Amino acid sequence: MSGIDPGTWLLRRLDPEVAHGVAIKALAWLPLPAPPADDPILATTVAGLRLSNPVGLAAGLDKNGEALRGLSRLGFGFVECGSVTPRPQDGNPKPRLFRLSEDRAVINRMGFNNAGLDAFAGRLSQRPADTVVGANLGANKDTEDKAADYVAGLRRLAGLADYFTVNISSPNTPGLRALQGRAALDDLLGRIAEARSSGGVPVFLKIAPDLTVAEIAMIVEATLAHGIDGLIVSNTTLDRPDNLRSRQRGEAGGLSGAPLQTRARLALRAAAEAGDGRLPLIAVGGIDSGAEAYARIRAGAAAVQLYSALIYQGPGLVDRIKQDLADRLRADGFSTIHEAIQAGPLTER
């Protein structure tokens, strides 16, 4: 159990979705101490968001904003909750969450299960004031005009979140990834831009790792054209690498964790090359160490997000990554995250 705290080991003995529920309840109710102050070298700014460190929590863990107080005590620089849809929905039938322990991976086909915007807004109104909190927006499964659902989320949660993520890349809602095509994307982003015409907080777009280089370049240009503030690269993959060992590797849904690293790195590289410094990027997908986080930053990411690796390594991973990042920045002669981004990618490993 080296590198794994006992609580994480115990949770992994439970059914995955039961363990997830237990973790949320514990984070909501346990009186966790405030984390120590972050090393000043980790402080950074992303699309105007001032972060004490660039290590964030990805959406999916706290779908309903129930555990923000506990999550704010784990040392993240920012916490993203959701995905939330306008109306409550149950999601897909169970079982729908699978650990691939041999592969340090997860497959999920949750289907945007959540309690809806009104419940979400109520919890965000009581969020910790000292934590940067993002709201990840989704669309209801049976909505024909999915763009309208994103606009509804943006308007209902105005003033309650520090940033919004428009999630058009989940593989578990029929038709959702079709919004990554140019015509549908222009319609969506144009309506998002109109809904936030009076200003407000940053809006990011979360994309899939299963796109081609040309498709990612098109999305970058559309994002810039409509004034969206950045990209989150990337969501789970529908791909199944040949080297997966778990007997659950054939389950339907999005794959995350260590096997996603290669695809997520390639997608980030494509976005960084297309953006050429014009658009902040947040990297997510298979980030499980300080070395991996640092490599993504050097590849162009202004910040990173974790989720699946926490299942296998526990919340102590956040502090380990931050310490390693600070050490690597200093070892390479950098005084800020921005300097590391500007230096360009590390030599291929």
Asked whether 126 and 115 are in contact (CB, 8 A), the reply is no
Residue type, 222: A
DSSP per position, 77-138: SEEEEEEE-SS-B--SPSP-EEEEGGGTEEEE---S-B--HHHHHHHHTT--TTS-EEEEE-
Strand runs labelled E in the chain: 44-46, 49-51, 55-57, 78-84, 97-100, 105-108, 133-137, 163-167, 203-207, 230-233, 254-257, 281-284, 303-306
Catalytic residue among 52, 72, 83, 170: 170
- Vertex 63 angle, CA 57 and 67, to 5°: 70
Q: Report d(CA 91, CA 3) in Å as an integer.
A: 33
**183 Cβ contact partners less than 8 Å away, ≥ 6 residues apart:** none
Asked whether 306 and 58 are in contact (CB, 8 A), the reply is yes
Q: Are strands 97-100 and 78-84 parallel, antiparallel or unpaired?
A: unpaired
Q: Report d(CA 82, CA 74) in Å as an integer.
A: 18
52 noted as active-site residue: no
Question: DSSP letter at 35?
Answer: P
Q: Which residues are catalytic?
A: 170
